[in-house]
Amino acid sequence: MGETSIEEDEVTAHYVLDASGRPRRMGESDPPPLEQEPPPEPHAPPAPPPPPRLWQPRDMIGVTLAGRYCIEQLIGLGGMGAVFRAQHVVIHKPVAVKVLNPTYSASEVDLERFLREARAASQIRHENVIDITDFGYTEAGQAFLVMEYLEGHDLGILIEQEGRVDWRRVVPITLQICAALRAAHAQGIIHRDMKPDNCILVPREDGREQIKVLDFGIAKLLDERREKGLTGEALIGTPEYVAPELVRGKEPDPRVDIYALGVVVYTLLTGELPFQGVSYMETLHKHLSEPLVPPRARAPDAEIPPELEAVVVRALAKDPKDRFQRIEELSAALLSFAPEFALGIGSPTGREFQGRDTLGPLAAVGPRRTRPRALAIGLGLGAALVLLIALLAWPDDQVDEPARPTEEIAAPAEPPPDPPPVAPTPAVEGTTAAEAATEVDDTAGDETTGDAGEPGEDRDRALPRALSRARFLKAVSRARASVRQRCRDKGLPGMKVDVKVTIAASGAVRGVTPVGTRAGSSLGVCVVEAVRKLKFDPAQRGSTHRASFEL
């Protein structure tokens, strides 16, 4: 009566919790299961950052490095970096700046190589070596070198433009490269990458040409131990200019630069590389085993003097013992072809030599002695120019190190009725050209009148005026067996070497010069060494003869 009634089934009904946790009456069907949300997917990796922008060398134009060097122009680009023209902001001096690219700057090995160039060049300090004046890092951490700025082009471009270069121009260029290498070797530094691209030809205001050698980046400092971290056992260098012993894994010494320079000179003279394969390995194999085609055979119309060819062939000997042992010897062999250079006039251009005859060794006069390393020169009456020239030097077979040079000379072919000027005696290491000139004068008297210090007029009358051809050949015939025995492992049966032998009045051999294609070969050098030890009959004056030796 007015009260709210509850139905019995509501009161007595039993409730249970369904699967979702909600109450429901017992007996009621379960509600349809709820759709379960798919499990969350694992987090996707973050998107990779955009690749770093490649280094653009041109972006450096206008940048000032180290607060001093304002980059103005890109002038060169290579695998390891770029070279710019810049200006010192204080003194307004143009300089060249070589910047290592970011990848190499981050590499310890490559950075060390880059620094090596700076250290090597700063030690040498020579007018034919590019001068490195500063070093630093860009704000991005890239290493850079500051060098003198040169207006010129490298010898590689010269070869591309001219094909081959007249020998009268090549010789002064080569002498300047020799001077640069001589200065480097004196500091215990081997270049190891001598090639045309590393020799800059700079025209001077007087019309002459100056060479600057650069890129000592893989130079070997002889007083350092092998840098396993820098080079390990890898062969480094440019394959067309690599000496055979480096291909064999030998330690470098100055003779590897002599070989590479021989390749440079050969290429300048002929317009072609002496050894070039279709692949890196084929080129190296040719250096090891392929016979050299002499320059005159490769370029028969280039009018290369035979004596100059002999110098180049010897520089390219495959056995380092058969090459010039020191760069000074190569310089001495070349000086006879460029006397103006020896006088300090400078490096003549090819135009200044046009129309001249081949310049061979000239007689020396003048008893004056000068300081070591000085060149003995004399100016005769009239317009005659006389100059002491040291020629080809032959190595010692018994050592594998740079040997004491023994320089060879040329002399008049036959003695004239009156006493002629006598060619210079070979200078030994430590003897200056001027000292050698004095010895020549003294010896000239000996060859005419007998041994110095003896009033040998009666004895002189008993001696023949000069060693006869018959007596020369008789002595040579006696020596042929011993020469063959000494040199049998230097060539094949049937190989022949022709030599020109200059003999003093005393009968001693004064000089031996190989003639022909065997000059500079292992066999040719061996024969020269053997003939130098021969003794001939004395005469009133010296003479020159030719002989052949066959295995």
CATH assignment at residue 466: 3.30.2420
CA distance 478 to 482: 8
163 and 129 in one domain?
no
167, 141: one domain: no
If asked whether residues 459 and 312 sit together in one domain, one would say no
Domain housing 81: 57-148
Q: Does the residue 302 lie in any domain?
A: yes
Q: Report which of residues 30 and 236 the model is more confident about.
A: 236
- Determine the average pLDDT of the residues in 301-329: 96
- Count the neighbouring beta carbons within 10 Å of the beta carbon of residue 347: 22
Question: For 425-467, how does the pLDDT look when each residue is reduced to its tens digit (9 = 90+)?
Answer: 343 333 333 333 333 333 333 333 344 444 455 555 688 888 9
Q: Residue 336 — very low, low, confident or very high, per pLDDT cuts 50/70/90?
A: confident
Tell me if 295 is assigned to some domain.
yes
Q: Are residues 127 and 229 in the same domain?
A: no
- Residues 6 or more apart from 476 whose CB is under 8 A from it? 534, 547
Residue 181: which CATH number?
1.10.510.10
Of 303, 318, 345, the residue that ends a domain is 345
Residue 15 scores a pLDDT above 50: yes
Same domain, 194 and 317: yes
Residue (of 501, 159, 173) closest to 331 by Cα position: 173
Query: In angstroms, how far is CA 211 from the centroid of its own chain?
Result: 14
**In this predicted structure, what is the pLDDT of residue 94?**
94
C-alpha 430/C-alpha 405 separation (Å) is 10
Residue 120: what pLDDT? 75
In a domain, 230, yes or no: yes
Least confident segment among 180-194, 263-277, 297-311, 450-464: 450-464
> Per mean pLDDT, which range of 183-187, 242-246, 276-280, 457-461 is the poorest?
457-461
pLDDT tens-digit profile of 369-391? 333 322 222 323 233 222 222 22
Inside any domain, residue 178: yes
Which secondary structure element, helix H or strand E, spans residue 28, and what is its range? Answer: none
Residue 362 placed within a domain:
no
pTM to 2 decimal places: 0.54
- Assess whether 470 and 486 both reside in one domain: yes
Region class of 507: left (phi > 0), else alpha (psi between -120 and 50), else beta: left
My answer on whether 127 and 62 are in the same domain is yes
Same structural domain, 260 and 332: yes
Q: Whole-angstrom Cα distance, residue 254 to residue 102?
A: 33
Q: Of 240, 231, 127, give the one whose Cα is nearest residue 194.
A: 240
Residues 66 and 83 in one domain: yes
User: What integer is the mean pLDDT of 392-413?
Assistant: 36
The pLDDT-based confidence of 233 (bands split at 50, 70, 90) is very low
pLDDT at 310 over 70: yes
Query: Considering the domain boundaries, does residue 407 fall inside one?
Result: no
AA identity, residue 20: S
- Of residues 378 and 162, more confidence is placed in 162
Spatial distance between the Cα atoms of 30 and 101, rounded to a whole number of angstroms: 74
Residue 16 φ/ψ, nearest 5 degrees: -130, 165
Q: Is residue 31 part of a domain?
A: no
Of 95, 118, 148, the residue at which a domain comes to its end is 148
Say whether both 279 and 161 belong to one domain: yes
Query: Of 89-98, 300-309, 491-500, 513-522, where does mean pLDDT reach its minimum?
Result: 513-522
Instruction: Write down the pLDDT at residue 488.
Output: 77
116: tokens are: 């090596």
Structure confidence at residue 45 (pLDDT): 66
**Could you give the percent of the chain with pLDDT greater than 90?**
33
- pLDDT tier at 342, thresholds 50, 70, 90: low
Q: Identify the pLDDT of residue 116.
A: 76
Return the pLDDT at 109.
79
Q: How far is CA 474 from CA 216, 479, 528, in A?
A: 53, 9, 18
> How many helices (H) and strands (E) are present in the chain, helices listed first?
17, 20
- Comparing 400 with 143, the larger pLDDT belongs to 143
Task: Choose the weakest-confidence range: 77-81, 141-145, 147-151, 263-267.
Answer: 77-81
Q: How confident is the model at residue 48 (pLDDT cuts 50, 70, 90)?
A: low
Helix ranges (DSSP H) in 290-405:
295-298, 306-315, 327-335, 339-342, 350-353
Q: Tell me the mean pLDDT in the region 466-472.
A: 90
Report the amino acid identity of residue 265.
V
- How far is it, in rounded angstroms, from Cα 19 to Cα 28? 13
Write down which residue in 148, 168, 190 finishes a domain.
Answer: 148
Using alpha carbons, select from 309, 498, 532 the residue that is nearest to residue 426: 532
Average pLDDT, stretch 222-246?
64
For residue 163, tell me if it sits in a domain.
yes
Q: What's the mean pLDDT when you consider all of the chain?
A: 73
Res 409: pLDDT: 33
Q: 316 and 185 in one domain?
A: yes
Whether 499 and 519 have beta carbons less than 8 Å apart is answered as no
pLDDT score at 435 = 32
pLDDT score of 211 more than 60: yes
Nearest by Cα to 499 from 408, 398, 395: 408
134 in the same domain as 167:
no
How many structural domains comprise the chain?
3
pLDDT of res. 18: 61
Residue 125, domain CATH: 3.30.200.20
Residue positions annotated with a catalytic role: 193
Burial 307-334 (b: 16+ CB within 10 A, else e): bbbbbbbbbbbbbbbbbbbbbbbbbbbb
Residue 550 has pLDDT above 70, yes or no: yes
